[in-house]
Amino acid sequence: MRDQTVETTTPNVAGVLKLLDRILSVLPDASTQQERLHAGVFRKQIHQFRDQIRSGETCEPVIHEVLNLCQEYFHRARAFRLEWEHECIEAIEALDDAASNLPHPSNTQAASGEDSDDELLHRVEMLQVKLNRAKDEAATDSLTRVANRGTFDKTLDRWVREHAAHQTSFVLALLDIDDFKKINDTFGHPVGDKVLTETAQLLACCVRPSDLVARYGGEEFALLLSGIKLAVAEPRMNQLLKKIAAHRFANTTGTIQFTLSCGMTEFMLGDSVGTVVQRADQGLYDAKRNGKNCVMARSR
């Protein structure tokens, strides 16, 4: 008589291994040293579970250990105040539900096991979609659909470290819509929101894929321009401001024209995040005092 346990365990092993691969593939990037340390431990534990399964150990206890570990990991992610925490918890709950459909190794119907594996992989696929969507939402400003302040802060911190290590340069530009309060007061906040959205899209269309456009706060935007010198970036920024000043923003009562002021600076060896932002912010202040609708660059 054939051993039915072997028949049903084989698809279980394949299904659980695919599950672990999916979990590893959707783990979010860690930004702080504490997060990176914890994520590294988590990945190591997942790999250990894979080794356990390949060695022939029963899958069912292992999958429950994995789920418990997932819950712990994402609860700690919430403690780190990652903005996509709620989506992660929901996704893991969906994964938990999917795992409950895993066939027990003693199940005597191999076909039933195969169907459960297909269902499991479908649920895990949904987990990947939810986590990817959550990561995108967490990184994007909900109104303008460019990067949000949190993404900007993390990117700038990474750029400062990486460019210091490679002794390369980048440019930071801070831009502010001139007299934005007057636009809101005259035309209303819905029109003001449209101005913000269209400004963000104009900025996004004028930068390279390697650059970053972010909403810095309120009516202020930030650009991170990689691998470029200030002497090259400044005239390009002047052209961009002229393009925006000439742009007509349509609304129900006609069109609106407005301008931007810009302060910009180049990263130099010895700079920190604070010193780079301070110089760009001072440049923006100078641009406002100089009559607005202009670029003021600061080196040191």
The answer to whether residues 258 and 126 belong to one domain is: no
**Quick one: pLDDT at residue 15?**
66
Domain boundary among 139, 162, 192: 139
Amino acid residing at 73: Y
**Quick one: pLDDT at residue 117?**
56
The pLDDT tens digits of the residues spanning 133-150 come to 666 777 889 899 999 999
The answer to whether residues 17 and 75 belong to one domain is: yes
Number of neighbours of residue 39 by Cβ within 10 angstroms: 17
Token pair listed for 108: 């005597």
Q: Which residue(s) pair with 249 in the sheet?
A: 256
In a domain? residue 144: no
**Quick one: pLDDT at residue 105?**
44
The answer to whether residues 134 and 154 belong to one domain is: no
pTM of the model: 0.63
Q: Strands 260-266, 295-298: parallel, antiparallel or unpaired by DSSP?
A: parallel
Could you list the residue range(s) of the whole structural domain that residue 252 is in?
Answer: 149-298
Residues with Cβ < 8 Å from 86, sequence gap 6 or more? none
**Quick one: pLDDT at residue 52?**
75
**Quick one: pLDDT at residue 28?**
57
Domain boundary among 139, 159, 187: 139
The answer to whether residues 182 and 234 belong to one domain is: yes
In a domain? residue 82: yes
Low-confidence residues in the chain, pLDDT < 50 = 1-11, 78-87, 94, 98, 101-115
The pLDDT tens digits of the residues spanning 167-192 come to 999 999 999 999 999 999 999 999 99
Amino acid residing at 286: D
Amino acid residing at 129: V
The answer to whether residues 162 and 289 belong to one domain is: yes
**Quick one: pLDDT at residue 103?**
46
Helices 59-79 and 4-26 cross at an angle (nearest 10°) of: 20
Question: Would you please indicate which residues are annotated as catalytic (active-site) residues?
Answer: 219
Q: How far is the CA of 62 from the CAs of 24, 47, 111, 143, in angstroms?
A: 16, 12, 22, 43
